[in-house]
């Protein structure tokens, strides 16, 4: 009898917890906040979560092979981006800030009324000093490229075993260049996922010289883990911008900014061109409205990721990180 009662109480407890999560709209993925160490669940609209489960399941993935879904998501992304640049979209800003509990003191301007459209708000800038760069003058330390959730992998092959399930995920497919991709054979990879509430500008993880830039057109799938763990080749199908950065400490570093559903544009700033010497933590570009993703790859044996990032990633738990925090140290500096 005691066993039955204990089982019933456990079920009731789980039901209450689920109700509380739904009420608080915390139906996203479990993450660890790097600053506090607390485990939390992302706040995400329930309808968005249901949409992801509908879009990324075996039946829908089969339909997608007909390319009809791709055309729909591409058209929807462009349409959503256009809507968020209209003056009336300004009315969405305050409710968006409230829903996601965004601390506007971290941004400039901090007053929501200063943004003429939701699109302007979406690409808001950090306030000076809000995101200090870890050991800014030490080129042997790589830093986090965006406010996001990150997982790190010792090799590209490990990404497919732990997280990214699309059968075409290779560096060669990611940058559509088998010759250049040889630099990152068996190299380490960091994957950053940005949610709509995040700061959507991205920064260089290292100091170095931009050797090449490549813009690859594509579709705009979601980059939520539901999508990444489906058979759809999200990261090698989406529109993206790729940079090769030559670093004295880290060798050739690959930086790929990837668009997603509701992201109409992936931009690299005009002054960032081949031959440009970029500083660690310097802004590289931005995403327009929506969620998005960034892949950073290092040559084999060139980086030692921070231990806390490696531990959480091995447990398949994303870590909430901020621009400028430490990502890892060059192996060269450890010799």
Residues with catalytic roles: 147, 203, 292
Q: Tokens for 194, please give them.
A: 């940005």
How far apart, in whole angstroms, are the C-alpha atoms of residue 15 and residue 12?
5
Which residue is it, tokens 């800030």? 97
Q: Tokens for 164, please give them.
A: 């990214």
How far apart, in whole angstroms, are the C-alpha atoms of residue 277 and residue 275?
6
Q: Where are the alpha helices (DSSP H) in 134-281?
A: 156-162, 171-175, 178-181, 225-228, 234-237
Q: Tokens for 217, please give them.
A: 């057109």
Lay out the sheet containing 283-287: strands in order across: 201-203, 283-287, 266-268
List CB contacts of 255: < 8 A, sequence separation 6 or more. Answer: 145, 204, 205, 242, 243, 244, 245, 284, 294, 295, 296
How far apart, in whole angstroms, are the C-alpha atoms of residue 175 and residue 295?
11
Indicate the SS3 state at residue 58: helix
DSSP structure string for 242-285: EEEEEETTTEEEEEEEE--TT---EEE-TT--TT-EEPTT-EEE
Indicate the SS3 state at residue 44: coil
> Where does 79-169 show beta strands of DSSP type E?
107-108, 125-126, 141-143, 148-153
CA distances from 33 to 135, 141, 315, 317 (A): 21, 21, 15, 11
Q: Tokens for 233, please give them.
A: 């080749």
């Amino acid at each position: 009898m005691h066993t039955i009662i204990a089982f019933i109480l456990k079920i009731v407890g789980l039901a209450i917890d689920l109700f509380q999560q739904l009420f608080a709209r915390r139906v996203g993925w479990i993450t660890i906040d790097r600053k506090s160490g607390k485990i939390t669940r992302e706040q995400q609209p329930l309808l968005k979560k249901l949409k992801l489960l509908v879009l990324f399941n075996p039946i829908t993935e089969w339909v997608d092979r007909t390319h009809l879904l791709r055309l729909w998501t591409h058209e929807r992304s462009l349409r959503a981006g256009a809507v968020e640049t209209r003056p009336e979209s300004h009315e969405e800003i305050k409710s968006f800030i409230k829903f996601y509990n965004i601390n506007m003191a971290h941004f400039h301007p901090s007053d929501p009324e200063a943004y003429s459209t939701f699109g302007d708000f979406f690409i808001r800038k950090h306030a000076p000093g809000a995101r200090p760069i870890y050991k800014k003058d030490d080129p042997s330390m790589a830093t986090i490229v965006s406010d996001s959730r990150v997982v790190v992998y010792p090799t590209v092959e490990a990404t497919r075993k732990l997280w990214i399930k699309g059968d075409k995920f290779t560096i060669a497919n990611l940058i559509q260049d088998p010759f250049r991709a040889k630099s990152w054979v068996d190299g380490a990879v960091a994957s950053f996922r940005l949610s709509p509430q995040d700061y959507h500008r991205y920064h260089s993880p290292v100091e170095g010289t931009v050797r090449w830039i490549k813009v690859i057109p594509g579709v705009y799938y979601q980059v939520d883990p539901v999508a990444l763990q489906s058979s759809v080749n999200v990261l090698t199908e989406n529109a993206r911008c790729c940079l090769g950065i030559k670093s004295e400490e880290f060798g050739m570093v690959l930086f790929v900014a990837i668009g997603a559903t509701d992201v109409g544009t992936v931009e690299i700033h005009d002054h960032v061109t081949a031959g440009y010497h970029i500083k660690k933590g310097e802004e590289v570009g931005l995403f327009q409205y929506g969620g998005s993703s960034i892949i950073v790859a290092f040559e084999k044996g060139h980086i030692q990721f921070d231990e806390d990032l490696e531990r959480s990633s091995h447990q398949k738990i994303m870590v909430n990180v901020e621009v400028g925090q430490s990502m890892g140290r060059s192996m060269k500096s450890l010799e």
